[in-house]
Amino acid sequence: MVLWFAHMREWVFILAVVSTLIFGVMAWLGLTLPVAYRMVRVLCVGSRRPRLPTWKKRKFA
């Protein structure tokens, strides 16, 4: 919201509200930013890591 006080435009206000909602939901779920990034990466790319042995594979990496 601080960015909106510095540059008062409608699109900056919408961006600030949406980012506040996203980070609020992440906090409610108990996710940190790196963990959320890994989960989104797994959803986009997939969990298959062909060059790693089975015992070294992680669920959300």
Q: Quote the pLDDT of residue 7.
A: 83
Q: Quote the pLDDT of residue 34.
A: 92
pTM: predicted TM-score of the whole model, two decimal places: 0.61
Beta carbons of 42 and 20 less than 8 angstroms apart: no
Which residue ranges in the chain fall short of pLDDT 50? none
